[in-house]
Structure 1
Amino acid sequence: MPRTVNTSDFDSKRKEEHKQHYARTIPCNQVSLTAPFHWLSSGVNDFVRMPIISGFYGLCFMAAAIGIVLLVQWQGSHLVVMPSLVVYMLIGPFLALGLYDASWEKERGHNASLLHSMKAIGRNSSSQWAFAVLLAVCMIFWMRIAALLHALYPSVQGAPLTDFLPFLVIGSIVGFILACIVFSISAFSIPLMMERRVDMMTAVFTSFNAVRSNIPAMIVWAGLIGGGVLIGFATYGIGMLFTMPILGYGTWHAYHDVIKKKHHP
């Protein structure tokens, strides 16, 4: 006797397939300690080969950095730094998308164009916006923690260094832990969401796993990124014209080197 087909069977099957493709962790490769220098070199090469695209996004990053510097000088207070960085964290990943797209086009032997790179912002935009909001929430949480730690700040002006130690030590430890978490979840998330159009959680899990599996190399890469950002702000934002496009291109090469490629049957 033929079995009656129940629509719930199809529904359960769809749910199982959805679970298999949602919030999964894509495998990663093991890279050497010197790999970050190769990524940086590739970033410099892309910067030279695509001067128009590099200049456009470099100017965007530079303008954002100069805006933060001028805002701090105008307000005369460090309290505006963190809110400004929250905004920077929101726009930064979307600007970097154009750089990833340009490197991707060059990799495939296509002629990279500024217009095509700008269209990358609309590719998998829902996941990318969700990730940008996640970064903003992390930064706001960081600000709240900093506000709580400010209670340890000496109340007496000109207090000795020993009175500052609890504030400096605890603040540095908490800041370091949060910085490591943010770096781990964001190192490869954006290029992964752009190329493979995966959901945000898959991108976050994959990025975290890749960083955890390549800690020595990622420490070097984080140092290079931090150095590039410091150079940018130390030059009142002008250095961002060069450092951010190079680091953006380098991040794409790091992504392709670390995250395993799709296997086609």
Structure 2
Amino acid sequence: MSHKFEEQPHNAITDSKIARVIPCKELDLGDPLKWIRLGLRDMLKAPHITALFGLLFALVPWLIYYLVVQTGWHLVILPALVCFMLIGPFLAAGLYDVSWELEKNHVPSIWHSIKAITRNAVNEWAFGILLMVLMIFWLRVAALIHALYPPYLDDNFENLLPFLAVGTIVGAGFTLLVFFISAFTQPILMERKVDLATAVMTSMNAVWVNKKVMLIWGGFIFACVAFGFVVGITLDYILGFGSFLFTMPLIGYASWHAYIDTIETKRGRKFE
């Protein structure tokens, strides 16, 4: 279903004057399903590149799992999950490039995807640094929460529950902040010669205007990441982390279509 862009509603973000805010459209609740369908189509059109990026996304949580096993610090799971979601948008740049190439009826290539980060290099790397700073800050907060855990208590669920609850609440806050900041920032920087502030403010405004739809979309992303971590660490690391081979490329491709469907362009886009 196509949408028409309407006059941009005023809110604290558009009125802040921090940076230009590119207008967005108001989405329908069923749009995330359309993005997933289009993302799946892109996966089937570029299976080799998809497999390569899927392997990369699966390797990161496996390394986190290895860290948990070696240190015995099970409370690292929640910080690790949030960190994975922090760096995900930055790593997904290559997947965005594949969908963009397919949209232009070009044949995507691995090298072209790798070079995607250089199109708006200064601002894209600044975005990466921003995510890294947020990740480091979150790790410090997580370490503080862990430091409050009495060392004399056994590592059972009853004793861990209060700290897991606190970590979940704080982590949810960080995840929500990062989702506002990063939902559309990376594809905006890739396709348009705009500064980081414009991309971030545009992303935040688009999420705010479409709170219900983006809550569904964000919930789907979180569910995919959480499933992989929980199953991988508690039941079967091959099944859990292997799921990232499929889910993370799908999320990357679908996120590009979410961007195309949400942020205003000067000319119409045909991607269905």
TM-score category (smaller protein): 0.7 to 0.9
Query: C-alpha displacement at 1:65, in angstroms?
Result: 2.0
* Aligned equivalents of 2:81, 2:260: Cα separation in 1: 28
Q: 1:189 aligns with which of 185, 188, 207?
A: 185
Query: C-alpha displacement at 1:134, in angstroms?
Result: 1.0
Given the superposition, is the C-alpha separation of residues 150 and 80 from structure 1 closer, same or farther in structure 2, using an over 3 Å criterion?
A: closer
Q: 1:249 aligns with which of 250, 253, 262?
A: 253
**TM-score, length basis structure 2:** 0.78
Deviation per CA, 1:104-149: give whole Å up to 9, x if none: 1111121222221121122212211111111121122223333444
* Aligned equivalents of 2:92, 2:217: Cα separation in 1: 16
Query: C-alpha displacement at 1:203, in angstroms?
Result: 1.0
* Aligned equivalents of 1:230, 1:160: Cα separation in 2: 21
Q: What is the aligned residue count?
A: 244
* Aligned equivalents of 2:156, 2:228: Cα separation in 1: 33
Over aligned residue pairs, what C-alpha RMSD do you find? 2.9
Query: C-alpha displacement at 1:83, in angstroms?
Result: 7.5
2:4 maps to which residue? none
CA contact (8 A) 1:86 1:140 kept: no
**TM-score, length basis structure 1:** 0.80
Alignment of 1:94-173 (within 5 A): 94-150=90-146, 153=149, 157=153, 167=163, 169-173=165-169
* Aligned equivalents of 2:87, 2:109: Cα separation in 1: 21
List runs of 5+ in structure 2 lacking aligned partners: 1-16, 232-238
Given the superposition, is the C-alpha separation of residues 200 and 102 from structure 1 closer, same or farther in structure 2, using an over 3 Å criterion?
A: same
Q: Secondary structure at the match of 1:237?
A: helix
Deviation per CA, 1:192-214: give whole Å up to 9, x if none: 00000321111111111100000
List runs of 5+ in structure 1 lacking aligned partners: 1-20
Larger Rg: 1
1:218 maps to which residue? 214
* Aligned equivalents of 2:156, 2:107: Cα separation in 1: 60
Query: C-alpha displacement at 1:88, in angstroms?
Result: 4.6
CA contact (8 A) 1:36 1:254 kept: yes
One-letter amino acid of the counterpart of residue 252, structure 1: W
Q: 1:48 aligns with which of 44, 49, 57?
A: 44
1:32 maps to which residue? 28
CA contact (8 A) 1:86 1:136 kept: no
* Aligned equivalents of 2:164, 2:266: Cα separation in 1: 45
* Aligned equivalents of 2:148, 2:251: Cα separation in 1: 36
Q: 1:238 aligns with which of 222, 239, 242?
A: 242
Higher helix share: 1
One-letter amino acid of the counterpart of residue 26, structure 1: I
Given the superposition, is the C-alpha separation of residues 157 and 72 from structure 1 closer, same or farther in structure 2, using an over 3 Å criterion?
A: closer
Aligned residues: percent identity?
49
1:206 counterpart = 2:197 = no
Quick check: 207-216 or 163-172, which moved more? Answer: 163-172
CA contact (8 A) 2:94 2:113 kept: yes
Query: C-alpha displacement at 1:152, in angstroms?
Result: 5.3
Query: C-alpha displacement at 1:178, in angstroms?
Result: 1.9
One-letter amino acid of the counterpart of residue 103, structure 1: S
* Aligned equivalents of 2:147, 2:114: Cα separation in 1: 45
